C-alpha cells in the first residue's frame, strides 16, 4: 500500500485537503497528516474541515513515504516558517519521489528551494514568487515536471488527484516488477 505525507497547518484551503485526502484514502493509500506538532488539531480557512496532525515532521524519514501532497490556503505560508517541514519537503524532493502541490502549496516548495528550473502552475497570486525563485509559471489545470505535480485551484482537484493516483499506481507496478 502506498503511503503519502500531507503537510498541513492552520487555515488550509478546506477542499484542497479533504478532496485529495478522501480520494487517496478511498484508493487504499495510507495518508499521514504531518505538521509542526503531532496531535495538534488544525482547521480549514472556511471552517468546513478539521484535521489532526498525525506526526510532527521532525524525525520523519522521506524513505517511509511514496509521495507528498501539499494542500493550499494559508497553510503553506505558515509551514514555510517550520524548518522541520521545509527540510522534510526538500529531502523528499531530493529523493526523486512525487511531490504534488495545489494553489498556494508551491509557497512551501519555494521555501524548500526546489522550484528553480522547473515548470509549475499555482494560484495566480504566487506566480511572481515562483518566477522570482527561478521557476517557469504556466496557467494550466495540471502541470507535471519530472516528479513535480502542480495545480491551480479547487476546480482542478479532480485532474490533480487523478495525476497523483496515476503516479502512485506506476510506482507500485515498478516495485512489484522489481520484487517479482
CA distances, 174 to each of 83, 137, 171 (Å): 33, 31, 5
Cell of 57: 515532521
Confirm whether 161 is a catalytic residue.
Answer: no
Cell of 123: 494560484
The catalytic residue among 68, 69, 103, 108 is 103
Question: How many C-beta atoms lie closer than 10 Å to residue 2's C-beta?
Answer: 21
Distance, C-alpha 65 to centroid of its chain: 12
Question: How many C-beta atoms lie closer than 10 Å to residue 41's C-beta?
Answer: 9
Radius of gyration of the chain (CA): 15
- Which string of b and e fits 59-85 if b means at least 16 CB within 10 Å? ebebeebbbbbbbbbbbbbbbbebebb
- Residues annotated as catalytic are 103
Amino acid at each position: 500500500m502506498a503511503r503519502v505525507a500531507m503537510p498541513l497547518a492552520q487555515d488550509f484551503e478546506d477542499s484542497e485537503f479533504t478532496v485529495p485526502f478522501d480520494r487517496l484514502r478511498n484508493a487504499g493509500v495510507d495518508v499521514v497528516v504531518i505538521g509542526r506538532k503531532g496531535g495538534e488539531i488544525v482547521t480549514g480557512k472556511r471552517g468546513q474541515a478539521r484535521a489532526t496532525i498525525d506526526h510532527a515532521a521532525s524525525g520523519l524519514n522521506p524513505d517511509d513515504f511514496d509521495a507528498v501532497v501539499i494542500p493550499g490556503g494559508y497553510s503553506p505560508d505558515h509551514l514555510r516558517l517550520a524548518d522541520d517541514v521545509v527540510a522534510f519537503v526538500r529531502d523528499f524532493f531530493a529523493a526523486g519521489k512525487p511531490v504534488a502541490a495545489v494553489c498556494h502549496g508551491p509557497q512551501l516548495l519555494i521555501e524548500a528551494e526546489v522550484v528553480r528550473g522547473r515548470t509549475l502552475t499555482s494560484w495566480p497570486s504566487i506566480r511572481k514568487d515562483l518566477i522570482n525563485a527561478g521557476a517557469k509559471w504556466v496557467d494550466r489545470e495540471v502541470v507535471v515536471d519530472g516528479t513535480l505535480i502542480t495545480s491551480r485551484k479547487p476546480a482542478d482537484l479532480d485532474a490533480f488527484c487523478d495525476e497523483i493516483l496515476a503516479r502512485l499506481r506506476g510506482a507500485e507496478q515498478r516495485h512489484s516488477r522489481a520484487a517479482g
